[in-house]
Amino acid sequence: MPFSPEPGTATPRTQREWWRDAVIYQIYVRSFADSDGDGEGDLPGIRSRLPELAALGVDAVWLTPFYVSPLADGGYDVADYRDVDPRFGTLADFDALTAAAHDLGLRVIIDVVPNHTSSAHRWFREAAAAEPGDPVRSRYIFRPGRGAAGEEPPNNWNSIFGGPAWTRLKRPDGTPEEWYLHLFDAEQPDLNWTSAEVHAEFDDVLRFWLDRGVDGFRIDVAHGMVKDAALPDIAEGQKADLLDGTTRLPYFDQEGVHEIYRRWRTIADSYPGQRALVAEAWVEDAERVARYLRPDELHQAFNFEYLQAGWDPRRVREVVDRSLASNGAVGAPTTWVLSNHDVTRHVTRFGGGATGLRRSLAATLLTLALPGSAYLYQGEELGLPEVTDLPEDALQDPTWERSGRTERGRDGCRVPLPWEGAEPPFGFGPAGTVPWLPVPAEWAGLTRAAQRADPGSPLALYTAALRARREAAVGAGDAVEWLDTGPEVLAFRRGAGFACAVNMSGAAAVVPLTGEVLVASGPVEQRADGVVLPADTAVWLRG
Ligand code: NOJ
């Protein structure tokens, strides 16, 4: 069912295209809510909790992959793009979830994973069973090896998860033959985007879900589908890393990806209701990101420079200015994001403990005060920290094994959410549920139910900020007028009626702003000469 412009409980939207200033809440499906007690979150679980997200005040949800998958990479290894994994529910559950979200005024964005499939996908099984040179192999990137007997990989590329980016196939009798490329896990073979069949397949996959009423797609590894045709070696010592935005690599950000997005844009635009496309593109800088957002390409891209700016006022201000300028030049909104399922939670990145929490809440007010769209990662509204001490035998991120057990990977930000109650799993699933990752007992005080009852909680702050953001249309427009407040305090006006200040120094600071305090992340004091902000604290003012 398509999105209704007059949804049940939400404030009616203005005439702006919804994605230009939407706050989009990322649901990591496995870890959100488990309806059936198998330890994995699922679509009915999400549906049952949607009213809580409507109450939080977000505009949309983004669901990470729930497709049929062996879960070698948490579902980013898709075996069937047109069905729901039984662990997560059914297509009927998906339809019911979408309808319920729309009734609550929430749009639904889903992940599409076009760079690679699962090795359990029918196409890859056919390719592996075929002879070298068979057309079914041309859906992937197969090559003979180097060396006298083809025993060396075709080039020196490494997997982003560690180890070589090539795996050699073996015949059932053990005879080695061609190699296939996988920028991620060996169970995630890269598709060959020079194949017309691959293009046609994804056109159809997009339509399949658009027909079911999704409001948009988050495009996984959007900068990776097209490879330099020569598959050249990379410089010795060059990092394969997805998170390394500083080096040009022959498998990322190639010109050919833009042609794909121009096509996808025509598909999205052929549907009513402003369907939106958002890129996960870890490219060098804001100018390269903006190339994905030209008017005939994608609507949004995650702003990873902002995510990586740290608790550093100079850097944050530079990134804000550069992002707005680059995106403004192509008429696109900027997105602001502090956390997702691939990075250490920002409470921990900002120092952990009470300091990390204080800074993270101040950073949230900064993020939500900026023009454009913001992405929230599930659990940040509860102030959840990274879980850094998961037992080794619980770790599931492929990074752990592929790095030779030297890098623990991303499981620490994927721990199931605490909803209510005094003991794990805190309402994540029915009583007796053993979650797929253990939930720390210390999270008893961080459950949503506990925070709902506490006006000083992170949840209360997020809820108040989102309400104020919506009421004052803070995300609209594109101007940020910085005030001269010294190097360690960021303060800006957004038009005449709204201002935000963040004290990123280690001591209290007076900021020459007056007006009604809309929201503050800590105890602020108003004086004739301005507002006094404790260290690591932010405030929004009206007037
Ligand atoms: C980016 C996703 O966010 C991440 O979780 C995944 O491992 C890689 N893409 C590969 O699909």
**Which amino acid is residue 475, in one-letter code?**
G
Q: Is the model's pLDDT at 194 over the cut of 70? A: yes
Residues 264 and 323 both lie in one domain? yes
Q: Is the model's pLDDT at 12 over the cut of 90? A: no
Which tops the pLDDT comparison, 283 or 195? 195
Residues 357 and 464 both lie in one domain? yes
Does residue 521 lie within any of the structural domains?
Answer: yes
User: Would you tell me the crossing angle of helices 256-269 and 196-211 to the nearest 10 degrees?
Assistant: 30
Does residue 474 lie within any of the structural domains?
Answer: no
Does residue 416 lie within any of the structural domains?
Answer: no
Tell me how far the alpha carbon of residue 538 lies from the centroid of ligand 1, in angstroms: 32
220 is catalytic: yes
Q: Give, in order, the Cα–Cα distances in Å from 414 to each of 46, 50, 344.
A: 16, 19, 10
Residues 149 and 275 both lie in one domain? no
- CA atoms of 141 and 164, how far apart (whole Å): 15
Q: Is the model's pLDDT at 241 over the cut of 90? A: no
| Residue among 28, 113, 342 to mutate when testing ligand 1 (max atoms within 8 A of CB) | 342
Specify whether the CB–CB gap between 62 and 376 falls below 8 A: no
Q: Domain count of the chain?
A: 3
Residue indicated by tokens 């990470």: 64
CB-based contacts of 181: which residues, under 8 Å, 6+ apart? Answer: 140, 141, 142, 143, 154, 157, 165, 166, 189, 190, 227, 231
Tell me how far the alpha carbon of residue 280 lies from the centroid of ligand 1, in angstroms: 9
Instruction: Tell me the pLDDT band of 477, cut-offs 50, 70 and 90.
Output: confident
Per-residue pLDDT tens over the stretch 155-182:
999 999 999 999 999 998 999 999 999 9
- CA atoms of 193 and 189, how far apart (whole Å): 12
Quote the pLDDT of residue 2. Answer: 56
Residues 227 and 332 both lie in one domain? yes
Quote the pLDDT of residue 246. Answer: 67
Residues 46 and 112 both lie in one domain? yes
389 is catalytic: no
Owning domain of residue 74: 19-117+196-231+238-408+453-469
Q: Is the model's pLDDT at 496 over the cut of 90? A: no
The residue from 178, 280, 381, 386 that is catalytic is: 280
| Residue among 73, 217, 375 to mutate when testing ligand 1 (max atoms within 8 A of CB) | 73
Residues 139 and 207 both lie in one domain? no
Residues 77 and 167 both lie in one domain? no
Specify whether the CB–CB gap between 443 and 433 falls below 8 A: no
Does residue 419 lie within any of the structural domains?
Answer: no
Residue 377 Cβ < 6 Å to ligand 1: no
Tell me how far the alpha carbon of residue 412 lies from the centroid of ligand 1, in angstroms: 15
Residues 100 and 147 both lie in one domain? no
Residues 250 and 127 both lie in one domain? no
Residues 142 and 226 both lie in one domain? no
Which whole number is the average pLDDT over 8-37? Answer: 84
